[in-house]
Structure formats: structure tokens, C-alpha cells
Chain A
Amino acid sequence: MAEITVTVDGVNYEDHVEPRMLLVHYLREIVGKTGTPIGCDTSNCGACTVLMDGQSVKSCAVLAVQADGTQITTIEGMANGALHPLQRAFHEEHALQCGYCTPGMIMAASDLLRENPHPTDTEIREGLEGNLCRCTGYENIVRAVRRAAQAGVSE
């Protein structure tokens, strides 16, 4: 077992974990952040995307021990009293049907907008290329990210 210290959505956690534990399992099973889903098990789908020290990562492709000393933000850390502007934009633009990909989409989109506050549609699509949605055909997702960008989500 290895001892790790991780900040998740602003709260500090100290835990003993097996080295083979994936970050996504740590978040869901130890910390209780079940807002982060497991999608594909092959690191293709991006549903489990979280921010690690501000950058998007696939939490199924990071060991919990590798997250030692980092700050993690999950979808559960996005709303601050009210929905985060990206969450609101996804709601208003109907950017989801089953919703399984949505936490990862929103985390990847937040990273994209942090780096590029006013992306073109092509840049939005490229920024979300690691996140699969099997329902929407992506059109409304791109629209939602554009709307959030116009609302100044990065500010």
C-alpha cells in the first residue's frame, strides 16, 4: 500500500491505496465522486476525464499513486451554488441525451476554454476529440461549448 495526499474538488484527502488502483477507481470508490463515470476501459472514450493540476486527463489512464500531491477537479467540483456556465450551456443547448459522456465532455471543454477562451467550431471539435458521444452527433455539444465561450466561462 502507498500513502497519497490528493486534493479533490477543494477537499484534502490522505489515503492508503494499492499501487495498481486507477485514479478513477480512487475517485469513485474511496472519495465517493461517482459523478465521474467509467466508460470504456480502454482509454478511448474520455467519459472519466477530470482536471489534474488544471489539465484534462483520463482518470482511467492515471494511477492513484501518480496523482499524489496533485489537485483534482471532477464534475462535482464545477457547480458553485449554481450550475457552472458549461453545465448550464449543456442543459440549454440539449447537448446530451443519455448523459453518460457529459461529465468528461464538460471537463475537457473547461480545459479547452481555459487555454482558448474563444475557439472556432473546428477548435472545439479538436479540443473534444478524446471524448466520445454515442447519442448526439456532437452538434449540440459544439453549440453548448460555443455558448459557454460567448458567456465568458473562462473569466
Chain B
Amino acid sequence: MIPAKFEYVRPGSVDEAIRALADGGDDAKVIAGGQSLLPLLRLRLAYPELLVDVGGLDELRGVTDAGDALVIGARTTHYQLVHDPLVAEHCGLLAEATETVADPAVRHRGTLGGALAHGDPAGDLPAVVLALDATLIARGPGGEREIPAADFFVDYLTTSLQPEEILTAIRIPKLGPGWGYRYEKFHRTAQSWATVGVAALTRRDNGSVAEARIGLTNMGTVPVRARAAEDAAAGAAASREALRAAADRADEGTNPPADLHGAADYRRHLARVLTGRALAAAAGL
């Protein structure tokens, strides 16, 4: 199908893009790689009057070392993240999960910032940045502001970005020594969305798990942390049995959807099983 008509501008800078968004009112939309937005436009599930294309802005692209964190430009593509040495060294969970997003052609075009700003709870990367305690950096007419990942995802396909704001970068704390990670994803076919995904991080301290962080994909209208399982895993013995017991609480407080891919109680089951696997793998078991 062919998208509904829209105007299109390709600004030369982020500031120009913000002005274009402000002038475009509520019906303006940012496009970067377009891998989430273009399918919506084609199906006419969205019909913005103006597209502001930031896909050519080099200031939004690349990974930089900021001491205790990495700062990733919002339009850095999935392909670039998967191949970036800094991400591999300090933020391996992001690379591991990004490699499972869609397929190679989509990863060539799709961007980290686009995947987050789209706010799809079935997308892999929202739960990952939540588990990584990332901070999202947005710029608007009033300047720049920082949004913790926990405050960024508001509802289904809805984020706390204002209409005239652009997500410019994502700051992710580097993982220190002792941290391990795993993204476990269950999906029916090679390139489909996760029925459920689990992003787990653990910090080992000799024979026990000192700290755990768990982000859940597609277990509600927004990505969520499995807080009860995190608390249960903290201080637990680094054994499969202990971590499986902690993982049994992974679905507490979640409100998973029911659709053709799975009923809600099936998703709860998947969340518990996948969390057990992800915690064990993250803890090196």
C-alpha cells in the first residue's frame, strides 16, 4: 500500500529539525531509519502531515566513550551497534539483543533511537535500555533534558518525548567487573517480534549473585523491570536452582497482552522460564 500524503523536510542540523517539528505542530513526526514508521504509514495506521528526516544527521550518529558511560547517538544503526568495539567491551547486552532485532536488512536501516522513540513494548531494545539503567537525552526548543529509561516509556507506543523534542542520544553506564548478561527471546519465526523477551544482568560476588537487573519485553503496555525476581536473586546462591526460584517471581506485577502469538498466562510462563535461563547464563552458569 501507499502511505497517505505528507510533506517532507530534511533538515541540516538537529536545531533545524526541532524548528521544523515546532512549525509542523502535532502532526509532525521524526523519521530516521523508518523501519518501524514506514510500515505504519503504509498500513495507514499513522498519517502525519509532515515527516522530518533526521536520517542524514551525522551529529546524531556514533558511539563515544564518556568515562563511566557510553553515549550512543540516537540514529546509530543496529548494524553499527552490533559491530561497535566500545559497545562490545562495555555494553555487550545491547549488542547481543540488537543482533536479534528483525533481520539484517532492517538492522542496516533501523536505529537505536528510533526503536526507543517508537515505544513498542514488543521491541527488544526498550527492555534492554531499561535493564541497563540508561538515560535518554532529548533536545527541544527549550534545550536539552535527560530522561531516565524508567520514566521514558509511558504507554503503548507512547513515550515522554514532547512533540517538538528529538531524542538525540542514549547514555548507558558501562558494566563494571563481575557483571554478566543475557538476552533470552522467544519468538515463533526467525524475524518476528518477541512473544516474550528477557534482558538479564547479574553481578557475581564469589559464590553468590550480589545484584540482578531484569527487563521484560512484551509483558505489558510498556517494557517493565521484574523487580520481585531482581530482589529474590540479589544475595541468592549462584546456582541454577536458586536463580530458578528467583525467576519464578518474574511475572509478578506484569500485565501481559493476549494475542495470536500467546495467551497472557502463557506469556507469564515464558517470562518465568526465560528469566531463569537468562539469569543463569548471565551468572556464568
Contacts and interface: CB of A to CB of B under 8 A. Distances in A.
Interface of A: 2, 18-22, 25, 41-44, 46, 49, 52, 55-58, 60-63, 65-66, 108, 111-112, 125-127, 129-131
Contact of A20 (B2, B79, B102): B2
A56 B105 contact: yes
Contacts of B51: 19
Interface stretch (B22-30, B32-40, B261-269): B32-40
Given A57-B109, A61-B35, A130 B102 contact: yes
Q: Which of A42, A57, A61, A62 has the most CB of B within 10 A?
A: A61
A66 B34 contact: yes
Contacts of B79: 55
Interface of B: 1-8, 10, 31, 34-35, 38-39, 41-43, 51, 53, 55, 79, 102-106, 108-109, 190-191
Given A18-B5, A42-B39, A61 B104 contact: no
Contacts of A60: 38, 42
B108 A2 contact: no
A144 B108 CA distance: 24
Contact of B191 (A41, A44, A63): A44
A127 B99 CA distance: 11
A61 B38 contact: yes
A56 B6 contact: no
A60 B106 CA distance: 11
A61 B2 contact: no
A62 B34 contact: yes
Given A42-B43, A43-B38, A58 B105 contact: yes
B106 A58 contact: yes
Given A19-B8, A22-B42, A58-B105, A129 B190 contact: yes
Given A62-B109, A130-B104, A43 B6 contact: no
Given A22-B3, A25-B2, A130-B103, 8 more contacts: A20-B5, A22-B2, A42-B39, A42-B42, A58-B105, A61-B35, A127-B104, A130-B105
Contacts of B42: 22, 41-43, 60
A48 B105 CA distance: 11
Tell me if A's interface is mostly helix, strand, loop or mixed: mixed
B53 A65 contact: yes
Contacts of B8: 2, 19, 63, 65
Contacts of B34: 61-63, 66
Contact of B105 (A22, A57, A125, A126): A57
B3 A20 contact: yes
Q: Which of B31, B43, B105 has the most CB of A within 10 A?
A: B105
Contacts of A129: 103-104, 190-191
4 residue pairs, one from A and one from B, having the closest CB atoms:
A130-B103, A19-B8, A129-B190, A55-B108
A131 to B, nearest CB: 8
Nearest to A66: B55
Contacts of B43: 42
Nearest to B55: A66
Nearest to A61: B38
A102 to B, nearest CB: 16
